[in-house]
A = this chain, B = another copy of it.
Amino acid sequence: MTHPFIRKLERFTRLSADDQRLLERMAFEHVRRIGPREDIVREGDAPGEIHLILSGWACRSKQLEDGRGAILAFLLPGDLCDPNAILPRLMDHSVGALTAVSVAGIPRPLFDDLTLKHSRIAQALWGQVLIDAAIQREWTLNLGQRTAYERLCHLLCELFLRLRAVGLTQGSSCELPVTQAKLAEATGLTLVHLNRMLQELRAANLVVLKNKTLTIPNLEALMSAALFNPAYLYLNQAGEASDAAAAGSLLALDERSAGLRP
């Protein structure tokens, strides 16, 4: 019974049962709980820990001096917050919690030791970094070339597929615990215009969004409206198309980390 984040790490390299156990223990021995609008890491920090999201949503964000700011990435369970920290560098952006979040905050020395002795684990982690980079490139394309409408379609597709990959979907639905304001920040649109695009999407019957729950009646159609090509997510073929009902993994995750709360 492997955890979602471990399955996610195995997208590249197979991890031995030993490696897996080690990772799990490491992660669940350093759980930290973070409230909805708190920061996990702040710009300029010299982070002493590597943060791995266990549950909840977070985002990378960066501000201009005059106050304008953007969300640069959404971080979902299984995602690394600060790969930068793997090599000692200051953060060039912040990571903030969008919902209540539980993260594993693994101290650098421990982490270094882990990756040094277990090259497979190191490799798996670097794989995540490369996927993150691929996603960032796709976002660049998104903002540069797609229309507002396509942009929103694309973002919703990506989030849904990424959630499904870690077993956080139920059929054609998933949680979307973010405000429209946040979606606007992520798509480079104003709140007003994002709202209008969303309504067009609803009118076209491409999405149902109510009570923080997103339902995609026809994923194919949404993907085609978004000009979405999932290659950049490097999902495994069959294995990751499973949802929570099949994997039962969301609960497993939450029970575990909750159990460790002080």
Q: Tell whether, in the assembled complex, residue B84 and residue A141 are in contact, meaning their CB atoms are under 8 Å apart.
A: no
Stretch at the interface among A57-65, A96-104, A165-173, A208-216: A57-65
Per assembly, the copies of the chain total: 2
Stretch at the interface among A19-27, A30-38, A131-139, A198-206: A131-139
Residues of B within 8 A of A73 (CB): 137
Q: Tell whether, in the assembled complex, residue B231 and residue A64 are in contact, meaning their CB atoms are under 8 Å apart.
A: no
A145 in contact (CB, < 8 A): yes
Which of chain B's residues has its CB closest to A151's CB? B144
Sampled A-B contacts (11; CB under 8 Å)? A12-B87, A64-B227, A65-B229, A69-B145, A70-B140, A70-B141, A93-B137, A132-B133, A133-B136, A136-B140, A140-B143
Binding site for B on A (CB under 8 A): 12-13, 60, 62, 64-66, 68-70, 72-73, 83-84, 86-90, 92-93, 123, 126-127, 129-130, 132-134, 136-141, 143-146, 187-188, 227, 229, 231-232, 234
